[in-house]
Structure 1
Amino acid sequence: MSPPQPPAPLRVTVWSEGRHERRDPEIAQRYPRGMHGAIAEGVTEHLGERARVRTATLDEPEHGLTEAVLAETDVLTWWGQAAHKEVADEVVTRVQRRVLAGMGLIVLHSGHWSKIFTRLMGTTCTLRWRNAAERELVWTVAPGHPIAAGVTHPIVIEEQETYGEFFDIPTPEELVFVSSFAGGEVFRSGCAFRRGNGRIFYFSPGDQDYPVYHHPQVRRVIANAVAWAAPERVGAVPRLTHSAAGWFETAAGGPA
C-alpha cells in the first residue's frame, strides 16, 4: 500500500499596488521589496513548505490577476492605499467571483477602501484616522480562533497610523482582534466574514510609513489568516437554475 501523499501546498498570491517603494526613497529603504515582498516573506517564514507564494502588483498586465493566476490561487492577500480607483472593474469582478466560488481573501490595512472589499461588504468601509506615529495595542478577543494561534496578547506596535471607530462595515461574523491607540481610539482591527463559499479576513495593522510588516507578530497573524482562509474546495459561482416540472422524481438522489 502506498504511503499517504502530503497535501498540496497552499497557493497564495500576495497583491499590492507596488507604487510607494518606487516613488519614495524612505519607503524603499523600509520596504526594499515593496509591501508585497515583506508580506510574502512573512507568509513563507511561517508556513514554509505548506505554501507556494507568488506576488502581483497593480502595474502588471491585468494587475497581475489574470484568469489563469486566479485559477491557481487558493488565498489572495490585498494591500492598497493610493490607487484604489485605478483597479479595473473587470478585475474586481473576476476576484469577487473567485471569492464567491471559494478563494480566501485577506484584506490588509488601507485595503478597507479597495473596490473589492467595499463591493464584498456592501458598505462604505470608511473609518476615522490620523497619522501621528502613535502606539497601537492589538488585543485578542477570540483566543480560540485559528488566526489568533500563537499570537501575543496584546501585540505591541510602537508606531503606527491610527484607525478609529466608527468603521462602516457589516457586523463581523467573527471578531478576532480589537486595537487601542495612544490617542484614545479603539478599532475593530481583525474581522472575519464569509461571502458565498469564500472566507474573508480584514486586518488593519500595516502602513507604508512604518515597518509594521516586519513585525514578527503581525506576520504571524497574516500567515495564520492565510491558512484559515484556505478553501476546502473551489467550485463554481452559484447560478440561477431552472427546474422543469417533475425534476424531483427524475433527478432526486443525483448530484446537487
Structure 2
Amino acid sequence: MPIRTVVWGENVHEQTNRTVAALYPGGMHRAIADALNADAGISATTATLQEPEHGLPAARLAETDVLLWWGHAAHDKVDDAVVARVVEAVWAGMGLIVLHSGHFSKVFKRLMGTPCNLSWREAGERERIWLASRAHPIARGLPDHFEIEMEEMYGEPFGIPEPMETVFLSWFQGGEVFRSGVTWRRGAGNIFYFRPGHETYPTYHNPLVQQVLRNAVHWAHNPAPRIADATAAPNRPVGEALEPLTERGGKLHQPGEEGFR
C-alpha cells in the first residue's frame, strides 16, 4: 500500500507574488506532491491554509502516514486547535517533514520546545549541500554533495534541540554553514527538517531536492499501528498492580480519578 502523504502549503506567496506564481503556477504544495507521486510507493495529496480546518480535519490526519509542512508568512494564522491535532498525530506515529521556513511554524516549535531561530539572507546565493551521513536512508541515491545555484541563506546557530541525526550540512556562497537536514523522534513519530525551499527560487523543481523528499517520506513513515491515545495518563488502580500491593499514606485522588493536567 502506498504511503499516504499530505503536502500542506500555506499558499500565500503563490497568490500575492508574481515571481512565485510563475515558478509554481499550481502552488509549491502541488509541485512537491507531483514530485512525490513520481514514486509508486507514495500517494501524495495537498492541503492549504485557506481550506476549512486548513485541510487537516481529524479524520484526514487519522489516514495520513506522513505530513509535509511549508509555511512562512502566515504562521500566526494557523489555528491552535489544528496545531494541537497535528502534534498529537505525530506523537501517535504520523511522520512529519518540515520544509524551509516551516522552522518557525507553530507545529515545529511546539514539537522542538525551542525558539528554532537562525540567521538569514535573501541574496540568491549558491548553496552546497554535503552528505553528513552517507548511509542514511534519506541520502539514498545522492552524490556526496550537490549544489543549488540560487537559494536563501540560513546560518548557524540554529535554535533547535540536539538532533537525533544530522543528514545534510550546507555551505553558502557568503561563507555561512547550516545543519540543513536533521531528524528527531517525538513519541512514535519521526520528524525530518529540510532547509532548502525559498519560494522565489525554483528549488522544488530540482531533481535531487525531489529525491531527498521522496527518501524522507519513506524514512518518516512508521508502519506500526497508530497509538490510539498518545496523551493518555491513566490512574492505575491498586488492584491491577502486577505484584501484591498494600496502600499506605494519604491520598489526593480517588481510585480511577483523573489527575491534574
Q: Which category describes the TM-score, using the shorter chain as reference length? A: over 0.9
* Bigger radius of gyration: 2
Equivalent pairs, count = 242
Task: State the alpha-carbon separation in 2 of the partners of residues 166 and 200 from structure 1.
Answer: 20
Shift of 1:153: 2.1
1:111-130 matched pairs, under 5 angstroms: 111-130=102-121
Shift of 1:248: 3.6
Matched position secondary structure for 2:37: helix
* Equivalent of residue 61 in structure 1, options 52, 70, 78: 52
**Residue type at the aligned position of 2:154:** Y
Alignment-derived partner of residue 100 in structure 1: 91
Matched position secondary structure for 1:223: helix
**Residue type at the aligned position of 1:60:** E
* Equivalent of residue 23 in structure 1, options 3, 9, 16: 16
Root-mean-square deviation (Å): 1.3
Alignment-derived partner of residue 207 in structure 2: 216
Task: State the alpha-carbon separation in 1 of the partners of residues 27 and 75 from structure 2.
Answer: 17
Shift of 1:188: 0.2
Shift of 1:44: 1.1
**Residue type at the aligned position of 2:138:** I
Alignment-derived partner of residue 40 in structure 1: 33
In the alignment, structure 2 segments of 5+ residues that lack a partner are 244-261
1:240 aligns with 2:220: no
* Larger helix share, 1 or 2: 1
**Residue type at the aligned position of 2:207:** P
Shift of 1:53: 1.0
Alignment-derived partner of residue 89 in structure 1: 80
Task: State the alpha-carbon separation in 1 of the partners of residues 169 and 144 from structure 2.
Answer: 11
1:170-249 matched pairs, under 5 angstroms: 170-233=161-224, 234-236=226-228, 237-249=230-242
Matched position secondary structure for 1:37: helix
In the alignment, structure 1 segments of 5+ residues that lack a partner are 1-7, 251-256
Shift of 1:249: 4.2
TM-score normalised by length of structure 1: 0.92
1:77 aligns with 2:65: no
Question: Do the aligned partners of 1:127 and 1:167 also contact (CA within 8 Å) in 2?
Answer: yes
Shift of 1:235: 1.6
Task: State the alpha-carbon separation in 1 of the partners of residues 84 and 160 from structure 2.
Answer: 20
Matched position secondary structure for 1:107: strand
* Equivalent of residue 146 in structure 1, options 128, 137, 151: 137
Alignment-derived partner of residue 253 in structure 2: none
Residues 187 and 245 from structure 1, CA distance in 2 versus in 1: closer, same or farther, beyond 3 angstroms? same
Task: State the alpha-carbon separation in 1 of the partners of residues 242 and 57 from structure 2.
Answer: 42
* Equivalent of residue 12 in structure 1, options 5, 9, 13: 5
Task: State the alpha-carbon separation in 2 of the partners of residues 17 and 36 from structure 1.
Answer: 8
1:162 aligns with 2:162: no
Question: Do the aligned partners of 2:88 and 2:231 also contact (CA within 8 Å) in 1?
Answer: no
Task: State the alpha-carbon separation in 1 of the partners of residues 205 and 66 from structure 2.
Answer: 21
Matched position secondary structure for 1:199: strand
Question: Do the aligned partners of 1:192 and 1:199 also contact (CA within 8 Å) in 2?
Answer: yes
Alignment-derived partner of residue 5 in structure 1: none
Alignment-derived partner of residue 254 in structure 1: none
Alignment-derived partner of residue 137 in structure 1: 128
Q: Deviations over 1:232-251 (max 9, x none)?
A: 2212214212222242449x
Question: Do the aligned partners of 1:152 and 1:217 also contact (CA within 8 Å) in 2?
Answer: no
